[in-house]
Amino acid sequence: MSFLKETYEFDAIINDITNHARFQELKMELHHGISRYEHSLRVAKMTYYMTKFLQLDYERATRAALLHDFFFNEDMEKYTTSEVFRYHQYEALKNAQECFDIDSKQANMIETHMFPVCHKMPKYVESWIMTLADKIVATHEMYRYKAALTMGIWIIFLFNIITIQK
Ligand SMILES: [Fe+2]
Ligand SMILES: [Fe+2]
């Protein structure tokens, strides 16, 4: 299958989710120095390629991957930072179930994507692949965007100090 056909297929699989008003709100949520919407799309794309290559249940896996971080910062205010790592997947699953049809395999993919930080084990091959895809994408984003964002904040901070003193 050509790259163009795969792009069309990927878009057709996720289209209703990315157009959903609630999911669109992830564009305003900061995650690893970019939006959570963008992060979710990357994980979905990597999951799509990996599960399709391995001839797995790639359509459902791709949709679950897109929804794996479907949570909002305001819902997480009740948690400490370490609890956010361990519990955000349950908020994501709750939101996913409220807005879309989620089967048991997809639910397992979403709620175990933080393994081994969460204590529940991935039960399906697709779950293992998605947790791996999330870690690869997150590592890349933390390195590429969060470092740049931190540096940008420091530059603004130093610029303010210099201009205040003048
Ligand atoms: Fe996550
Ligand atoms: Fe993630």
Per-domain boundaries in the chain: 3-165
CA of 3 to the centre of ligand 1 (A): 28
pLDDT tens column, 29-43: 988 889 999 999 999
pLDDT digits (tens, 9 = 90+) for 37-67: 999 999 999 999 999 999 999 999 999 999 9
Going from the Cα of 106 to the center of ligand 2, the distance in angstroms, rounded, reads 15
Total-model pTM:
0.87
* Residue 161 pLDDT: 67
Q: Is 154 helix (H, G, I), strand (E, B) or coil?
A: helix
Distance CA 37, CA 18 (A): 9
Rounded distance between C-alpha atoms, residue 58 and residue 47, angstroms: 8
The angle formed by the CA atoms of residues 102, 106 and 108, to the nearest 5 degrees, is: 120
What is the average pLDDT across 66-75? 96
CATH match for 3-165 among 1.10.10, 1.10.3210, 1.20.1080, 1.10.3470: 1.10.3210
CA of 20 to the centre of ligand 1 (A): 20
**pLDDT confidence band for 166 (50 / 70 / 90):** low
Cα distances (angstroms) measured from residue 134 to each of 8, 9, 46, 150, 159: 22, 21, 8, 22, 36
Q: State in Å: Cα 40 to ligand 2 middle.
A: 6
Average pLDDT in the chain: 91
Which amino acid is residue 127, in one-letter code? S
- How many angstroms does the Cα of residue 47 sit away from the middle of ligand 2? 12
Picking from 23, 25, 67, the residue whose alpha carbon sits closest to that of residue 44 is: 67
> How much distance in Å is there from the Cα of 165 to the middle of ligand 2?
42
